[in-house]
Amino acid sequence: MSTHEAGTRPWKQQLASGHRPVQDALTVEHERSTVMRAWEASIVVGLLQTADYARHVFNAFVDLRETVRDVDDAVQARMQRQELLDRPDKQYHVLMSESVLRAQLCPPGVMAAQLDRLSDATALDTFSLSIIPFEASLALPPANGFWMHDERLVIVEDWHAELWLDQPDDIALYRRVWDTLSGSAVFGEDARKVITRCRKALGSV
């Protein structure tokens, strides 16, 4: 990535033509990458969202930022990116807080289907999911979510902008953050148990 591509990318500029172009740009980075790591404390990562969940998320941000309402196109682009999960040359390591599984950003029925999707995803060969339970001890506060693309790029999302970071020191810092938070997480069958208890909390929907 060239230096001029890195830096702060204000949402106002990025979303001038809607959410679809942003989704397409992220797909390019996923296609360029082999090993990807994500941390998220507030929302299911886009790579694992159901279409209905994604639609609620996009609608919320369209309303917040008063942008072009291209929600259907944005959802379609996000769903297309999920096809990369079937690529044997990709490795995804996703770390999320239990708070993600509890946040009611959509109706209970939609959230139930989303949790089922997360549970199913744990069986994918190209994908590993770790979850930090509420009861886990933390060595760091769970701050902003981010994606690491190999050892060349970190994308951090904030309310006003995305940060695209390509300097070695920054990348090394975010890798230490990911590794440290990962030390508080459970995975495999234990992660599925956390998903199951969150699913049961929704009741019979």
Mean pLDDT value across residues 48-71: 96
CATH number of the domain encompassing residue 18: 3.30.870.10
| Mean pLDDT estimate for the chain | 94
Angstrom distance (rounded) from CA 142 to CA 140: 6
Q: What is the pLDDT of residue 166?
A: 96
More confident site: 61 or 4: 61
Task: Please identify which residue in the block is written with the tokens 């940060």.
Answer: 163
Instruction: Answer whether residue 203 shows pLDDT above 90.
Output: no
DSSP 50-86: -HHHHHHHHHHHHHHHT----HHHHHHHHHHHGGGGG
Confidence band for 2, pLDDT divided at 50, 70 and 90: very low
Q: Is 103's pLDDT higher than 50? A: yes
- Tokens found for residue 28: 């390019």
Is 80 exceeded by the pLDDT of residue 6?
no
Q: How many CA atoms lie within 13 A of 104 on its CB side?
A: 5
| Residue 65: C-alpha distances to residues 9, 26, 70 (Å) | 14, 19, 13
Is there a contact between 104 and 60 (Cβ–Cβ < 8 Å)?
no
d(CA 127, CA 145): 18
Q: How confident is the model over 72-86, as a mean pLDDT?
A: 96
Domain that holds residue 8: 3-201
What tens digit of pLDDT does each residue of 17-39 get? 999 999 999 999 999 999 999 99
Q: What is the pTM of this model?
A: 0.93
Overall domain count for the chain = 1
pLDDT tens digits along 151-189: 999 999 999 999 999 999 999 999 999 999 999 999 999
